[in-house]
Amino acid sequence: MGKKLFAEFLGTFWLVLGGCGSAVLAAGVPDVGIGYAGVALAFGLTVVTGAYALGAISGGHFNPAVSFGCWAAGRLPAADLPGYIVAQVLGGIAGAGILYLIASGNADFSTAGGFASNGYGEHSPHGYSMQSALITEVVLTFMFLIVILGATHSRSPAGFGGLAIGLALVLIHLISIPVTNTSVNPARSTGPAIFVGGWALQQLWLFWVAPIAGAILAGLTYRKFMEK
């Protein structure tokens, strides 16, 4: 179990450092910045690389919502769930911490720019409401779990699950960065929010409730209608 928890910690650390790091350090660079598409690709790449490097150890969740969805689908014992979530949240905080240390080396850096935090209303990248954010996070996490559960099914082609999951996360980001800055992952949301404080912590509840609700619904749906 210790190896599994360390793998979840490390994978979530990598996801936050790579994905949020691309948003904080590279997205807004004038003329050569990677933009939304680059950030979306970066998040997908962290999942693909993390899944192939660490998935054989822990299952490669790197996300409390994924763990809840796998539990609801009957693929993760309830006894393992708390440990997975704690390891993932600590990994997300550690990834955000390293990113903060790197970014603060620039004299113009300030967390006032959001530090890749998730938000709604005036803190949505394009001003989307709390309702829009809630719907987006529930539905996209639901679909993310459907892809994960299907791609990792014993009857699916072996060796391609990580690629399908990573590409799904790229697509999710392409859809939802303008709405919420994309969470679908409470650990990813928690790490940056701790360093921003204020509004980011006040709005963090949505980025726990919505992804977990969508994931559990997906797990139950897959188990009922698609699992064979």
pLDDT digits (tens, 9 = 90+) for 163-190: 999 999 999 999 999 999 999 999 999 9
Domain limits of the chain?
Answer: 2-226
Q: What is the pTM of this model?
A: 0.96
**Which of helix, strand or coil describes residue 228?**
coil
Task: Determine the average pLDDT of the residues in 200-226.
Answer: 96
Q: pLDDT at position 158, please?
A: 80
Task: Determine the average pLDDT of the residues in 82-97.
Answer: 98
Topology of domain 2-226 in CATH is Glycerol uptake facilitator protein (1.20.1080)
What is the longest distance spanned by two Cα atoms in the chain? 56
pLDDT digits (tens, 9 = 90+) for 148-160: 999 999 888 888 8
